[in-house]
Structure 1
């Protein structure tokens, strides 16, 4: 037996907290009866669980690392019929979702899973999971601009948290730079560099928490190793302790 909201999260319905909201709203039935009490325990092998009339099934949890190419979007469905990352995951049977997003013109590390609880932890700014981006920018930032990024930049939707910035290579008319952040504001990295006068020409995410792109070519993907999953679960466990 296990708590209903945990089962819903494991099935990929939503994070555990969001699942609690769905239950409280009366959108869940167990064996045909509406359940609104949080903490209700169910048997995933015996009980029929429905969310908004759809029977949920507990899927095997999967964790996929994709080296996203430029030109692909990370939404599950696109009304404009553009290519999505799910066009690449042709052999994945489970219904996975991206952990955070990369915009159409950004390539690099994208984690996809059906583990709702882990997704919540890895994408919540308060947990401080760091992501590293390498960019080619116009011009060469001086030290004052690097320090400004590291202190935090005021964008239209508020101040950014302190970051780690550095110049990787000075190419004269442009530079290769890196930026490490733990937030996920829309197009944040591009906006941060633009705000200090160095628009991004090319952008790639190279690291997400303990994960990197080693051995994964652009357009390819692989399942995480058991050790990598353990590392992510330690982050999730620590988040539960800190609550």
Structure 2
């Protein structure tokens, strides 16, 4: 096994990070300083040290996390709670998030120490589908739905979005759906705005542009006030997980994702 791959799947860091560690002289193999990331090692018999500490080969791990709104997708933050703050009983050294969700977005987030898995899942050319459930202020008419399905321009200078899938679930007024929306402090909407049109549904995209779902819906006149990612590829969020809870992916779930990446 390559040295950089061994370190990456042993929770030392992403592949690109461990390459830097090796080149900077932080790694030893059987007592000798090694600066070549591609050197082959025997993970079962060689003694690998990082910063003079023996690295234990733990293999690959994959977590499904039900991210709550209000925390940021980062390892540390001086102001906000991070997704890693919910993993108090797990050694998260070398574990990283796969992609990210906005602070106010809930739902499915994956964390792993498998750098190759993360790279392929986020690789634009793979076009892995991600589905989001949304509530928005506004209405979606047939022309709007057609634009979303065919792809649209969300900002000057950007290329058209890839075709998306859209399924409208509810449409009506805020007064009709305010209890179902279950959104606190909805931008101070009061009784004067109870007739404000609202719409909910599922939007599936196969890209990862910044704030893409919000920007796509804004381009057709809808302002997102609630967003939750419910699936990545064939992997669906386990709804038995409360917000802030996590669990290890089972083998079938891992293979469903890996199988999708091989297509």
Q: TM-score, normalised by structure 2?
A: 0.78
Matched residue SS, 1:98: strand
Q: What count of residue pairs does the alignment treat as equivalent?
A: 232
Structure 2: where are the runs of 5+ without partners?
A: 174-196
Instruction: Indicate how the Cα distance of structure 1 residues 54 and 135 shifts in structure 2: closer, same or farther if over 3 A, else same.
Output: farther
Residues 1:144 and 1:203: Cα distance change in structure 2 (over 3 Å): same
Match of 1:148 in 2: 147
Match of 2:244 among 190, 199, 219: 219
Deviation at 1:125, TM superposition (A): 1.4
Deviations 1:209-240 (A, max 9, x none): 1211232222222111121122223234x16x
Relative distance call for 1:11 and 1:205 in structure 2 (3 A) is same
Counterpart mapping for 1:17-166 below 5 A = 18=16, 22=20, 26-27=23-24, 29-31=27-29, 32-36=32-36, 38=38, 40-45=39-44, 46-50=46-50, 56-80=55-79, 82-95=80-93, 96-156=95-155, 158-159=158-159, 160-166=161-167
Task: Compute the displacement of 1:57 (Å).
Answer: 4.5
Q: Which runs of 5+ in 1 are unaligned?
A: none
Structure 1 or 2, whichever has the larger Rg, is 2
Distance 1:21 1:220 in 2: 32
1:30-84 Cα deviation digits (max 9, x unpaired): 434343363x201234232548x8875433422111111110111001122x111
Poorly superposed stretches of 4+, deviation over 6 Å: none
Post-superposition offset of 1:145: 1.1
**Displacement of 1:122 after TM fit?**
0.9
3-state DSSP of counterpart to 1:180: strand
Deviation, structure 1 residue 165:
1.6
Q: Hey, what's the Cα distance between the residues in 2 that align with 1:104 and 1:20?
A: 28
Residues 12 and 161 of structure 1: CA distance in aligned 2, closer, same or farther (over 3 Å): farther
| Separation in structure 1 between the aligned mates of residue 5 and residue 68 of structure 2, nearest angstrom | 34
RMSD over aligned Cα atoms: 2.5
2:169 is paired with a residue whose SS is: strand
State the TM-score, normalizing by the size of structure 1.
0.84
- Secondary structure at 2:244 match in 1: coil
Which segment drifts farther, 160-169 or 64-73?
160-169
- Given that residues 13 and 116 in structure 1 are in contact (C-alpha distance below 8 angstroms), is that contact kept between their aligned partners in structure 2? no
Q: Is 1:193–2:212 an aligned residue pair?
A: no
Q: 1:62 to 1:166 in 2, by over 3 A?
A: same
